Amino acid sequence: MTYTPKTFNIPALKGISEKQIKVHLGLYEGYVKNVNLIMETLKGYEAYGDKASEGDKLAIAELRRRFAFEFDGMRMHEYYFPQFEGEKGGSPDSALAKAAAEKYGSGENFLKHIREVSTTRGNGWTVVYYDPSGKTLHTVFVTNHELGQLAGLPILLAFDLWEHAYMVDYVPADKKNYIDALFETLNWSVVEKRFDDAMKISAA
């Protein structure tokens, strides 16, 4: 099988330019391309079977390590871009809003916490998860997308805070302005639907 880059219907965004989105989508497509390339290359090595040389075995091991980086890069962007599709929505009475108020005290505190995590020094991702077992939300900063993820937890929100996500529009010192733009353009109804879907799966 091969993976195909997804298409996203992203409207004009306040604070994030069309050029920035185009550059970012190109990076995402590179992840998809490399996922397919690694799978195809590994398949070729498998043909050697027990006859693979020691050098081949080293190459195979490194490709296997690299796969997680490329795959998670692909998948995390497939959480990121859809969050800006469609008209902005969201409900203060949604199940997510109630879960956020239970964990953080109020919806306002939830947003404040996401913003605080997003201003963590360095590159990475702010990710909001739902833990069906603990029936709670977790908001964490993930530096490398193939490392530090909370295993098995559904992703509700993903903010890409690597410089490639905003350097067309902002210099690193203005990262805060990019974070402001994320909150300005985020379609909360997408995040709420992810939460509702995660609740359905946990209840099944």
The answer to whether position 4 is within a domain reads: no
Strand-pairing partners, residue 137, are 130
Task: Return the higher-pLDDT residue of 98 and 59.
Answer: 98
Give, rounded to a whole angstrom, the gap between the first and last alpha carbons of the chain.
29
Q: Which alpha helices (DSSP H) does the chain contain, by range?
A: 18-46, 54-80, 95-104, 107-118, 175-185, 188-203
Amino acid at 65: R
Predicted pLDDT at 48: 62
Give the domain CATH number at 170: 3.55.40.20
Q: Is residue 157 part of a domain?
A: yes
pLDDT confidence band for 92 (50 / 70 / 90): confident
What gap in Å lies between CA 22 and CA 28, rounded to an integer? 10
Can you give the pLDDT at residue 127?
Answer: 98
pLDDT band at 47 (very low <50, low <70, confident <90, very high): low
Within-domain flag for 91: yes
**Confidence (pTM):** 0.93
The predicted structure's pLDDT at residue 201: 78
Residue 171 has pLDDT above 90, yes or no: yes
Distance from C-alpha of 100 to C-alpha of 153, rounded to nearest angstrom: 16
Q: Is 67 part of a structural domain of the chain?
A: yes
164 domain residue, yes or no:
yes
Is residue 66 within 8 A of residue 38, CB to CB? The reply is yes
How many independent structural domains does the chain possess?
Answer: 1
Residues 6+ apart with CB under 8 A from 44: none
pLDDT greater than 70 at residue 175? yes
Report whether 195 contacts 98 (CB < 8 A): no
Stretch 62-74: mean pLDDT, rounded? 95
pLDDT band at 59 (very low <50, low <70, confident <90, very high): confident
Which range marks the domain in which residue 72 is found? 16-204
Whether 79 has a pLDDT exceeding 80, the answer reads: yes
Which range, 38-47, 51-60, 62-71, is most confident? 62-71
Q: What is the DSSP letter of 80?
A: H
Whether 10 is in a domain gets the answer: no
Is pLDDT above 80 for 4?
yes
DSSP 13: B
Position 88 confidence tier, pLDDT thresholds 50, 70, 90: confident
CA neighbor of 115 nearest in space, from 177, 72, 73, 193: 177
Q: Is residue 6 part of a domain?
A: no
User: pLDDT grade, residue 87 (50/70/90)?
Assistant: confident
Which has the closest alpha carbon to 107: 183, 181, 175?
A: 183
Q: What is the mean pLDDT of residues 60-69?
A: 92
How far is residue 130's CA from residue 152's CA, in Å, rounded to a whole number?
10
- Does residue 50 carry a pLDDT above 80? no
Instruction: Name which residue leads in pLDDT, 60 or 165.
Output: 165
Q: How far apart are CA 191 and CA 197, in angstroms?
A: 10
Q: Which residue has the tokens 């098995």?
A: 152
In a domain? residue 133: yes
- DSSP-derived pairing of the beta strands 136-142 and 125-131: antiparallel
